[in-house]
Amino acid sequence: MTDYDSPWKDLLNDYFQDFMAFFFPETHADIDWSRGYESLDKELSQIVRDAELGKRLADKVVKV
């Protein structure tokens, strides 16, 4: 099976601020980028693995 997911996640990690500016300009303007941001992939993995509520669609969470 071809892994198309990982390259997109890598790009989001490297260019998250630019991604937000392009796709969500109003939200981008509301974020204080001087405070940085943090990828919460490990926390999401824990939640999804432990959840028994069915299919999950989100697989990338970023704390701003």
pTM above 0.75, yes or no: no
Task: Supply the DSSP string of 1-62, one letter for each residue.
Answer: ----HHHHHHHHHHHHHHHHHHH-HHHHHHS-GGG--EE-HHHHHHHHHH--SS-------E
User: Per residue in 11-42, pLDDT tens?
Assistant: 888 999 999 999 999 999 999 999 999 888 76
pLDDT at 8: 82
Full residue range of the structural domain in which residue 25 is found: 5-63
Q: Is 17 in contact with 35 (CB distance < 8 Å)? A: no
Name the domain count of the chain: 1
